[in-house]
Amino acid sequence: PVAGDEAGLAVVMVHEIAHAVAKHGNERMSQALVTQLGGTALSVALESYPEQTQALWMAAFGAGAQVGVLLPYSRLQESEADRLGLIFMAMAGFDPNEAPRFWSRMAAEKGGAAPPEFLSTHPSDKSRIEKIKGEIPEAMKYYERDRSRQ
Nearest to 22 by CA among 83, 90, 66: 83
80 residue type, one letter: E
Q: Residues with catalytic annotation? A: 16
Cα distance between the two ends of the chain: 31
> Are 3 and 11 in contact, with CB atoms under 8 Å apart?
yes
Task: Name every residue whose Cβ is closer than 8 Å to that of residue 16 and which is 6 or more positions away in sequence.
Answer: 81
